[in-house]
Amino acid sequence: MEVILLERVAKLGQMGEIVKVRDGYARNFLLKRKKALRATAENRAKYDGMKAELEANNIKAKAEANKVAEKINGRDIVIIRQASESGQLFGSVSVRDIVLALEADGITVSRPQVWLDAPIKAIGQRQVTIAVHPEVEATITITVARSADEAERIKRGEDISTRQEDQDAAAEALAAAGEFFDPEAQREVAPEAEAAPTEK
């Protein structure tokens, strides 16, 4: 189906462009959300009449979106979740969780504005894009951790893939091995080995 875009749509086109899309995408997303019109002769004439108003509204909305983007760009949102010792989450962090975390931080966004390819399933940091407006994007950092203390350690860049006790135990084992094995020591050969006759 061919449609006339009423606003910029990511990976599709700019306002006023006529693009060909799948029928389901057009009906269920573009037409339903008033992002496009069917590309009929009647709608082309209608778009020409609406063009100036659409562009004026877009400029106004874009200016407001830029202000919002400045407020949220670069923010670090911490989400606390239970996870295994290896860092795998018991569950995942989805778009809904990010929207709720932003709301708790005083920022209101809708689910379609949060661009998350797949749910987050491990502890760590992830950059997430927020489409404040079709032409304005902001980037936030999502830090997923088991506790606020661990979140601070992740932000500092510490490796939290192993537990602190395991790291301490590994350091102690290395120190003990260093005392036990002295690379400067000469290897002693047993006297029996020297005296043993060789068979012919």
The domains found in the chain, sorted by start residue, are 2-67 (3.40.5.10), 76-162 (3.10.430.100)
As given in the structure block, the two tokens for residue 177 are: 């091995």
For residues 164 and 167, give the distance between their C-alpha atoms in angstroms, rounded to a whole number.
5
Token pair 């102690």 is found at: 172
pLDDT in tens, 49-66: 888 888 888 888 888 888
> What is the mean pLDDT of the segment spanning 29-57?
88
Q: Are 105 and 90 in contact (CB under 8 A)?
A: no
Which residues partner with 19 through β-bridges? Answer: 3
Residue environment code for 79-94, b if the CB has 16+ CB neighbours within 10 A, otherwise e:
bebebeeebebeeebe
* Euclidean distance between CA atoms 126 and 78, whole angstroms: 11
Which residues have CB under 8 Å from 70's CB, separation 6+? Answer: none
- Average pLDDT value for residue range 126-136: 88
Mean pLDDT of 64-77: 87
Residue 2's pLDDT is 92
